Amino acid sequence: MVKIGNLELGDFPLLLAPMEDVSDPPFRALCKKNGCDMMYTEFISVEGLIRDADKSVQKLDIYDYERPIGIQIFGAKLDSMQRAAEIVEEAQPEVLDINFGCPVKKVVCRMAGAGILQDIPRMVKLTEAIVKSTSLPVTVKTRLGWDDDTIFIEDVAERLQDVGIKALSIHGRTRKQMYKGEADWTKIGKIKENPRIHIPIFGNGDINSPQKALEYKERYGVDGIMIGRASIGYPWIFREIKAFLERGEIIDGPTLDERIEAVKEHLQRSLEWKGERLGIVEMRRHYTNYFRGLPGIKKYRARLVTEYDPSVIHEILEEIRHKYSQAEVFS
């Protein structure tokens, strides 16, 4: 049984990675429905939280059907991180997660996210302060290092465990790599082999099929897998991996009907959570992913991403349903 503090997550949990503009409540609902064991919010700026910025505060929204869930924060200032941890605790998630892995320039330049990989002592100091400032289990998501010359993740894992974190998620790339090249899980595997490490270690990066999930589980011995980009527009990845891990079964992918109904649900939840205009606009980034592999979808997508009327969007979705048969359109 994998546990984060006293939180039990099963024998081999599948986690939804925190992704900006993706892992919001509407999308999380679909991932949960399809078997995700634990999810994380989009990352939240601690400076936004302590200043009561609407966008940051809204990201604290969590719902009972999503549990267990972690709220992820990022920042660089000690006092701001501690104050934000107190605000997060009031939202009552199961876990508080610290983002030490975001590679985006506007985050890194403030020494937040993966930027802090340039100053490991500060990374450890910030983590220790947050652990001491909250009763929630604290976890960390990070990368292997800043670049190929500064891969200290094995030492970092020990030091973060020593100051009290309850789990560590590791993306198998450096900050310099961003999302290019292949994720290197060998360092993650070495952490699992370290007899000093007793907290759960979750691997992240490039898991895009049930077969790869099983291969990496067995090869690197991780306690669970965190899935990010492969879930975008495809929340069914969780049920497919579970079927393969638990029963050795390769199950069929979602039908066209399932995809259309998922888009409708995602859109409706987005409208309810964000309001009509913003809900429609922010939904646009998802259409291509939901219908990826469908021949000739481009002309429908062009209409979906320019339409503001929800009823017309539904009409377009029904046109797609009518146009394509249930035959092997996604093979």
Give tens-digit pLDDT for 219-264: 999 999 999 999 999 999 999 999 999 999 999 999 999 999 999 9
In this structure, the strands spanning 3-4 and 7-8 are antiparallel
If asked whether residues 266 and 233 sit together in one domain, one would say: no
Per-residue pLDDT, averaged over 57-80, amounts to: 95
Catalytic residue, chosen from 31, 36, 102, 109, is 102
- Confidence at 296, pLDDT banded by 50, 70, 90: confident
Q: How would you class 208 by CB atoms within 10 Å of its CB: exposed for 0-12, middle for 13-18, buried for 19 or more?
A: middle
Length of the chain: 331
Instruction: Return phi, psi of residue 60, to 5°.
Output: -75, -10
Calculate what percentage of the chain has a pLDDT beyond 90. 92
Write down the pTM of the prediction. 0.94
In-domain check, residue 163? yes
Report the DSSP beta bridge partners of residue 170: 142, 203
> Which pair of tokens denotes residue 127?
């983590």
**What tokens appear for 175 in the block?**
């900050």
pLDDT at residue 193, rounded to an integer: 96
In this structure, is residue 84 part of a structural domain?
A: yes
- Residues with Cβ within 8 Å of residue 255, at least 6 apart in sequence: 326
Residue found by looking up tokens 């991780």 in the block: 222
Based on the domain organization, do 292 and 162 belong to the same domain? no
Mean pLDDT for 169-191 is: 95
Residue 191 has pLDDT above 90, yes or no: yes
Of 247, 278, 295, which marks where a domain is finished? 247
CA distance 150 to 120: 10
* Residue 326: band (very low, low, confident or very high) from pLDDT cuts 50, 70, 90: low
On whether both 13 and 127 belong to a single domain, the answer is yes
Same domain for 234 and 260, yes or no, is no
- For residue 96, count CB atoms less than 10 angstroms from its CB and return exposed for 0-12, middle for 13-18, buried for 19 or more: buried
Range from 23-27, 94-98, 271-275, 327-331 carrying the lowest mean pLDDT? 327-331
Same domain for 242 and 263? no
Looking at residue 116, which CATH number applies to its domain? 3.20.20.70
* 22 and 59 within one domain: yes
Residues 213 and 299 in one domain: no
Range of the domain at 112: 3-247
The answer to whether residues 277 and 308 touch, using CB atoms and an 8 Å cutoff, is yes
User: Mean of the pLDDT values across residues 288-307?
Assistant: 91
Please tell me whether residues 221 and 319 are part of one structural domain: no
Q: How many domains does the chain have?
A: 2
Last residue of a domain, one of 227, 247, 267: 247
- Mean pLDDT taken over the chain: 94
CATH of the domain at 314: 1.10.1200.80
CB atoms within 10 A of CB 110: 16
Residue 31 annotated in active site: no
Q: Are residues 203 and 292 in the same domain?
A: no
**Shared domain check, 161 and 213:** yes
Work out the average pLDDT over 170-187.
95
What's the CA gap between 241 and 112, in Å, rounded? 33
| Alpha-carbon separation of residue 275 from 29, 272, 304, 307, 310 (angstroms) | 17, 6, 18, 15, 12
Same domain, 205 and 260: no
Does 30 fall in a domain? Answer: yes
C-alpha span between 42 and 265 (Å, rounded): 20
**pLDDT score recorded for residue 294:** 87
pLDDT tens-digit map of 26-36 = 999 999 999 99
Give pLDDT, residue 308.
95
Q: In this structure, are 115 and 169 located in the same domain?
A: yes
Asked whether residue 307 is domain-assigned, the answer is yes
Q: Rounded to 5 degrees, what are φ and ψ at 204?
A: -145, 140
Q: How far apart are CA 24 and CA 16, in angstroms?
A: 11
Last residue of a domain, one of 188, 220, 247: 247
Least confident range from 266-270, 294-298, 324-328: namely 324-328
Confidence check: pLDDT of 328 > 60: no
Helix-strand-coil percent breakdown of the chain, rounded to 5? 50, 15, 40
- Is residue 99 assigned to a domain? yes
Condensed to tens digits (0 to 9), the pLDDT of residues 71-130 reads 999 999 999 999 999 999 999 999 999 999 999 999 998 899 999 999 999 999 999 999
| Residue of higher predicted confidence among 181 and 72 | 72
Amino acid 330: pLDDT: 56
State the pLDDT at residue 323. Answer: 86
